[in-house]
Amino acid sequence: MPDIKNPRGFDPELDAPITVRDPPASVDLSVAMSRHEAVVNEIVNSICRDRRYFKELADAMLKEHRTRQQMFAGFLVAAISRWAECHDAGTFDLRNEATCKLAHEIVTRMGDDWPRNPLPYI
């Protein structure tokens, strides 16, 4: 039975929230990461630290609120679409070739069933 105070099994030491702050005024914003780049950087860093645990990370996602799961899936759809476009444009190299090829294959096989618009926010 889940802990009522801690229904997701949140561990404050392991699951501390990541805070992305706006850069100080002294930082040249033309060279600083955009807010979106900073968020993606934090996600990728977290995944790369735990790459042996992809299944566990996916299981953790299933514990999130279902609306949040759908929003994250919408992000994945957008990312897969962009990687497929990179494949089609040839703008990949050996470091992300497998990703772009897989994305192209997914979008191609799905054909007209591939979601072209964001998933609904419910």
pLDDT single digits (tens) 59-91: 999 999 999 999 999 999 999 999 999 999 999
Output the pTM of the full model: 0.69
- Asked if residues 84 and 104 have their Cβ atoms less than 8 Å apart, the reply is yes
Q: Which of 18, 116, 20 is nearest to 74 (CA)?
A: 116
User: Can you give the pLDDT at residue 17?
Assistant: 47
User: Can you give the pLDDT at residue 24?
Assistant: 60
Helix (H) or strand (E) holding 66: helix 66-89
**What is the token pair recorded at 16?**
């501390």
